[in-house]
């Protein structure tokens, strides 16, 4: 059964990248690399006949996710170059996050966690589930239209919720962008709903590649804004400002294109659109789970709302620095973590459905160790190269050295949380696999209770320029708390989680990562200061990244850490093909 899992980001719901990740297919039969005999308590069986095609499908989806994230990051870079990293960019970022948040509160979490399994089960109906699907589209579409209309009307009130009037933000500019961007809510819903229907039919390609088209539309829009004369006016603010209008409508057009592209493959799949009213009894069955899922998203947004208000109370550009640093922070998980772990998620779901806790624990342990050996060395190197990343990438056009440096420092400070973040996302999947939608909400409440007071300490203890650094540190600590709490909760629920083996892998990986960081730092010392700031940053970034990664993974290979074999095997196959 193809499944999509609620992995709502506790801080920022990335409008393009997260949706691109969520629609990756759940591989039906096997992980990317088979666990060692006895790892999950299974007897070794022959690989199914379709295994090669399944592996090829997984690779294609990973490529689509990678390209989506690269193009999504590219338009963020271009936006800084086109309008700078000050209040204009802050205002756009706040407004551009609103549609995704409201969509998630309306039905995004429900669609991503509960609808696909029900669609699959409805295929056993006499009509192949067509009536149930039509009813779902009717009800969801109506809710989206009403919710979008209310949100657009309430744009000024939503702005007041997220923007602190006493800070350096520009509420009027946020509201102007919000009027143009909030219609995206409807099209986010259409995209998620059509993706769910296609995934239930095991059609994954269009949903994986549609976000790439979206990003290309946005890139074109920003290039147009870049060459337009003048700057965005902040006093007075007008929604008819040519650059505001072009940017707002162009970004919304990207979401529209992303949604419309799914209609032809949906029609080719045999689905017949038809308005069909009424509440199916199966919708009532998951009503309680749906409410818990919405609760999870709602609690996570409390943390995000306060994060935004704290950031807008500091120096101009804080929201932009946070947004871009957060996007860079998530990139390794989205490209490496998701592609490696996607295949193991259905196994955990199947084990939970069968009540096979031994197998479920084995898969959880295996996924945790893969996450450790692939992400921990990268997070360590990010700590060293963070400053260079900011200057190298964000000094194009109107980007300033000071703003780029602050962004890079924010990335470096938060890098330690990459592995805890991945573990939290994995633990949430395990709970949902066990049909436990309540525990993720309770964990999110604890994380938010820890996070909020620390956020309010940032403006009290730090200068306005450094508030974003404090916020990123608080985010990292929150994920550490969440990972520990989730592990304890799973231990109480499932018993022995094979934690000793996970801790052993973590210890070996920490040693390798420390050596990699040391080598990267030494490599950075040989780069002469006589280079210009941007060129100096690029040289340090490339040199330190290569040295740090090679040394870290080289040590892991020398230590013969078995969990590294999935990555090395894939790289070896790619080299042999060439």
The C-alpha atoms of residue 88 and residue 93 are separated, in whole angstroms, by 9
For the ranges 296-300, 382-386, 443-447, the lowest mean pLDDT is seen at 296-300
Q: Residue 309 class from Cβ within 10 Å (0-12 exposed, 13-18 middle, 19+ buried)?
A: buried
The C-alpha atoms of residue 376 and residue 332 are separated, in whole angstroms, by 10
Give helix 87-103 / helix 130-153 axis angle, nearest 10°.
140
What's the pLDDT score for residue 6? 36
Task: Categorize the per-residue pLDDT at 387 as very low, low, confident or very high, splitting at 50, 70 and 90.
Answer: confident
The C-alpha atoms of residue 210 and residue 188 are separated, in whole angstroms, by 12
Pairwise pLDDT comparison (62 vs 17), residue with the higher score: 62
Task: Categorize the per-residue pLDDT at 477 as very low, low, confident or very high, splitting at 50, 70 and 90.
Answer: very high
What's the pLDDT score for residue 294? 67
Residue 236: cis peptide before it, omega within 30 degrees of 0: yes
User: Are the CB atoms for 190 and 259 separated by under 8 Å?
Assistant: yes
pLDDT at 286 over 70: no
pLDDT at 178 over 60: yes
The C-alpha atoms of residue 147 and residue 98 are separated, in whole angstroms, by 13
Pairwise pLDDT comparison (514 vs 93), residue with the higher score: 514
What's the pLDDT score for residue 5? 34
For the ranges 97-106, 322-331, 529-538, the lowest mean pLDDT is seen at 97-106
pLDDT at 425 over 80: yes
**Tally of CB atoms within 10 A around 392:** 22
The C-alpha atoms of residue 157 and residue 163 are separated, in whole angstroms, by 10
3-class state of residue 191 by DSSP = helix
User: Are the CB atoms for 117 and 289 separated by under 8 Å?
Assistant: no
Nearest Cα residue to 322 out of 551, 89, 104? 89
Task: Categorize the per-residue pLDDT at 389 as very low, low, confident or very high, splitting at 50, 70 and 90.
Answer: confident
> Running DSSP on this structure, what letter comes out for residue 249?
H
**Tally of CB atoms within 10 A around 460:** 8
Determine the straight-line distance between the first and last CA of the chain, rounded to whole angstroms: 34
- pLDDT tens by residue, 61-115: 667 777 887 888 788 888 888 887 777 888 888 888 888 777 766 665 555 555 5
Q: Which residue has the tokens 């296609």?
A: 198
Pairwise pLDDT comparison (412 vs 59), residue with the higher score: 412
> Running DSSP on this structure, what letter comes out for residue 112?
I
Q: Which whole-number Å values give the CA distances from 18 to 85, 232, 313, 451, in the listed order? A: 23, 29, 27, 22
What's the pLDDT score for residue 317? 74
**% the chain with pLDDT above 70:** 72
The C-alpha atoms of residue 510 and residue 556 are separated, in whole angstroms, by 10
User: Are the CB atoms for 126 and 163 separated by under 8 Å?
Assistant: no
pLDDT at 364 over 50: yes
Query: Mean pLDDT over residues 125-140, rounded?
Result: 69
Give helix 357-393 / helix 533-558 axis angle, nearest 10°.
150
Alpha-helix residue ranges (DSSP H) falling in 107-241: 109-110, 116-122, 130-153, 155-162, 171-181, 184-200, 205-227
What are the boundaries of each domain within the chain? 58-284
Reported as half-sphere exposure (CB side, CA atoms, 13 A), residue 249 has a value of 10
The C-alpha atoms of residue 308 and residue 444 are separated, in whole angstroms, by 18
pLDDT at 128 over 70: no
434 contact partners, CB below 8 Å, separation of at least 6 = 352, 360, 493
Q: Is the pTM of this model over 0.85?
A: no
What's the pLDDT score for residue 16? 33
Pairwise pLDDT comparison (298 vs 539), residue with the higher score: 539
Task: Categorize the per-residue pLDDT at 576 as very low, low, confident or very high, splitting at 50, 70 and 90.
Answer: low
What's the pLDDT score for residue 562? 78
Pairwise pLDDT comparison (1 vs 470), residue with the higher score: 470
Q: Which residue has the tokens 């956020």?
A: 455
For the ranges 53-57, 74-78, 128-132, 171-175, the lowest mean pLDDT is seen at 53-57
User: Are the CB atoms for 170 and 237 separated by under 8 Å?
Assistant: yes
What's the pLDDT score for residue 484? 92
The C-alpha atoms of residue 15 and residue 75 are separated, in whole angstroms, by 13
pLDDT at 446 over 80: yes
- pLDDT tens by residue, 224-282: 989 888 888 878 888 888 888 999 999 999 999 998 898 888 888 777 777 766 665 65
Burial of 506-520, coded b for 16+ CB within 10 Å and e otherwise, reads bebbeebbebbbebb
- State the average pLDDT for the chain: 76
Among 3-17, 211-225, 399-413, the range of highest mean pLDDT = 211-225
Pairwise pLDDT comparison (251 vs 141), residue with the higher score: 251
What's the pLDDT score for residue 281? 64
What's the pLDDT score for residue 452? 92
The C-alpha atoms of residue 385 and residue 9 are separated, in whole angstroms, by 25
What's the pLDDT score for residue 519? 93
What's the pLDDT score for residue 367? 80
User: Are the CB atoms for 188 and 239 separated by under 8 Å?
Assistant: no
């Amino acid at each position: 059964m193809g499944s999509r899992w609620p992995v709502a980001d506790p801080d920022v719901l990335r409008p393009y990248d997260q949706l691109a990740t969520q629609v990756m297919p759940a591989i039906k039969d096997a992980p990317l690399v088979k666990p060692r005999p006895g790892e999950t308590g299974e007897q070794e069986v022959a690989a199914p006949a379709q295994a090669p095609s399944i592996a090829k499908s997984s690779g294609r989806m990973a490529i689509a996710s990678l390209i989506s994230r690269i193009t999504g990051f590219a338009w963020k870079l271009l936006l800084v170059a086109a309008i700078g990293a000050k209040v204009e960019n802050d205002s756009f970022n706040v407004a551009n996050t609103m549609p995704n948040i409201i969509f998630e509160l309306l039905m995004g979490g429900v669609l991503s966690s509960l609808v696909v399994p029900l669609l699959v089960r409805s295929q056993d109906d006499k009509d192949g589930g067509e009536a149930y699907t039509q009813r779902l589209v009717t009800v969801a579409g109506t809710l989206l239209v009403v919710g979008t209309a209310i949100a657009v009307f309430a744009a000024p009130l939503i702005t007041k919720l997220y923007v602190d009037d006493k800070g350096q933000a520009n509420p009027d500019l946020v509201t102007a962008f919000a009027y143009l961007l909030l219609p995206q809510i409807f099209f986010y819903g259409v995209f998620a709903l059509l993706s769910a229907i296609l995934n239930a039919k095991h059609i994954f390609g269009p949903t994986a590649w549609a976000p790439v088209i979206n990003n290309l539309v946005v890139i074109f829009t920003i290039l147009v804004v870049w060459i337009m004369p003048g700057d965005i006016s902040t006093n007075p603010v007008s929604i008819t400002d040519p650059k505001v209008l072009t940017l707002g409508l162009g970004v919304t057009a990207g979401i529209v294109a992303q949604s419309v592209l799914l209609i032809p493959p949906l029609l080719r799949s045999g689905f017949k659109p038809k308005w069909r009213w009424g509440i199916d009894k199966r919708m009532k069955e998951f009503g309680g789970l749906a409410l818990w899922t919405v609760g999870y998203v709602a609690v996570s947004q409390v943390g995000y709302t306060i994060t935004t208000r704290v950031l807008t109370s500091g120096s101009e550009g804080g929201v932009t620095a946070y947004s871009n640093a957060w996007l860079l922070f998530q990139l390794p998980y989205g490209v490496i973590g998701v592609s490696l772990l996607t295949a193991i998620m259905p196994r955990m779901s199947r084990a939970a459905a069968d009540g096979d806790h031994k197998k479920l624990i084995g898969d959880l342990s295996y996924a945790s160790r893969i996450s450790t050996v692939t992400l921990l060395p990268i997070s360590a190197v990010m700590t060293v190269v963070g400053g260079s990343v900011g200057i190298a990438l964000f000094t194009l056009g109107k980007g300033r050295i000071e703003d780029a440096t602050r962004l890079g420092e924010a990335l470096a400070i938060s890098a330690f949380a990459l592995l805890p973040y991945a573990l939290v996302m994995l633990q949430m999947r395990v709970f949902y696999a066990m049909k436990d939608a309540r525990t993720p909400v309770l964990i999110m409440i604890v994380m938010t209770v820890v996070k909020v007071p620390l956020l309010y300490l940032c403006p009290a203890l730090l200068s306005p320029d450094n508030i974003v650094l404090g916020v990123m540190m608080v985010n990292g600590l929150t994920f550490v708390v969440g990972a520990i709490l989730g592990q304890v909760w799973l231990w109480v629920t499932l018993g022995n989680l094979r934690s000793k083996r996970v801790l052993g892998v973590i210890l070996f990986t920490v040693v390798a990562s420390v050596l990699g960081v040391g080598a990267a730092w030494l490599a950075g010392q040989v780069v002469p200061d006589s280079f210009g700031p941007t060129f100096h940053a690029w040289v340090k970034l490339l040199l330190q990244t290569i040295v740090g990664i090679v040394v870290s993974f080289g040590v892991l290979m020398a230590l013969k850490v078995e969990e590294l074999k999935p990555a090395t095997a894939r790289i070896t196959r790619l080299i042999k093909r060439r």
